[in-house]
Structure 1
C-alpha cells in the first residue's frame, strides 16, 4: 500500500488526514488511538499498543509453562 497523507495545520499543531480506506484497514475511527513505532525502514502505524502486545506474549508464555498449576488454582 502506497498512500500519500496530507499534513494540515490544527491550531498551533500539525495533523495528518487519514483516508477512509486506511481507517477501515486499521479498523479505527474518530477517537481511537494509533501507535507510531520506529522500524528499520521508517515508522510503523498500528492500532494496537506494542507494549501491551509484548506483555501479553510474556503472560501467554508463562501460562503455557505453568498450565497444570494454573488449572489446579482455578478449581
Structure 2
C-alpha cells in the first residue's frame, strides 16, 4: 500500500506519485493516466480503457477476417 497526500497544484489539487509507483506504471512526467471506477474503489492506469476496448474489437475482426486481410495485403 502506498499512501498519497492530496496537495495544491496551482489552483487545483493533485497527488504526487513516488518514483517507484511511476516506474511500475511505466510512466514519466507529462504522460496521461486514467482513473476508472472499480468494484473496490478506483484504479489508476496508463491505459485508456476505451482504446483497449476498441483494440479488442479490432483484434477479433482481424482474427475472423484473417484470409480476407491477407488477400488485400497482396
TM-score, reference length from structure 2: 0.97
1:27 matched to which residue of 2?
26
Question: Hey, which bits of structure 1, 4+ residues long, moved more than 6 A?
Answer: none
SS at match of 2:27: coil
- Deviation track 1:13-59 (CA, whole Å, cap 9, x = no partner) reads 10101000000000001000000000110001001111110000000
Provide the C-alpha distance between the structure 1 equivalents of 2:5 and 2:32, rounded to a whole number of angstroms.
19
Provide the C-alpha distance between the structure 1 equivalents of 2:10 and 2:50, rounded to a whole number of angstroms.
30
Query: How large is the Cα RMSD of the aligned pairs?
Result: 0.6
Query: Aligned pairs, how many?
Result: 74
Provide the C-alpha distance between the structure 1 equivalents of 2:15 and 2:27, rounded to a whole number of angstroms.
15
Task: List gaps (5 residues or longer) in structure 1.
Answer: none
